[in-house]
Amino acid sequence: MTLLSIPTWMIHIASVTEWIIAIWLVWTYSEVSNKNYWKFLSVAMLPSLASASCACLWHFFDNSPSLDWLVTIQAALTLLGNSTLCLAGRHIFLNSQAIDKENSGSSELT
């Protein structure tokens, strides 16, 4: 654990912790607002969390060459995470548009 400075470790740990909290907050928002389509976002955030965990694990073992495979897994998880986040954004957009159309249609009838 000597390659990274203490402030850098603090940032790494804080970032992972913030991501966990963000996942929990999005999930909670979906339940409180009764917008279950937001849950897809919290699930879509998991590959990025796993990617960050791979990076922290690799750094924890001083970037050991025997763990170079973690870098490959981290890259794959980053790609997967970016893709799932994009899909989650699209999912939220389409669902919120559909709800807006339903609400505007019902208000015209009354």
Q: Please write the tens of the pLDDT for every residue from 81-97.
A: 999 999 999 999 999 99
* % of the chain beyond a pLDDT of 70: 93
Residue 72 placed within a domain: yes
- Give yes or no for residue 105 having a pLDDT over 90: no
Residue 35 maps to a domain = yes
For residue 61, give the 3-state DSSP assignment.
coil
| 38 close to 22: Cβ distance less than 8 angstroms | no
Residue 1 lies in a domain: no
Q: Side chain identity at 67, as an amino acid letter?
A: L
Calculate the CA dihedral of residues 77, 81, 55, 64 and round it to 10 degrees: 10
C-beta separation of 50 from 75 below 8 A = no
The percentage of the chain sitting over the pLDDT mark of 90, rounded to a whole number, equals 82
Q: Give the count of domains, the chain.
A: 1
Position 32 in a domain: yes
Does position 65 have pLDDT exceeding 80, yes or no?
yes
Q: Which domain holds residue 50?
A: 6-109
* 36 within some domain: yes
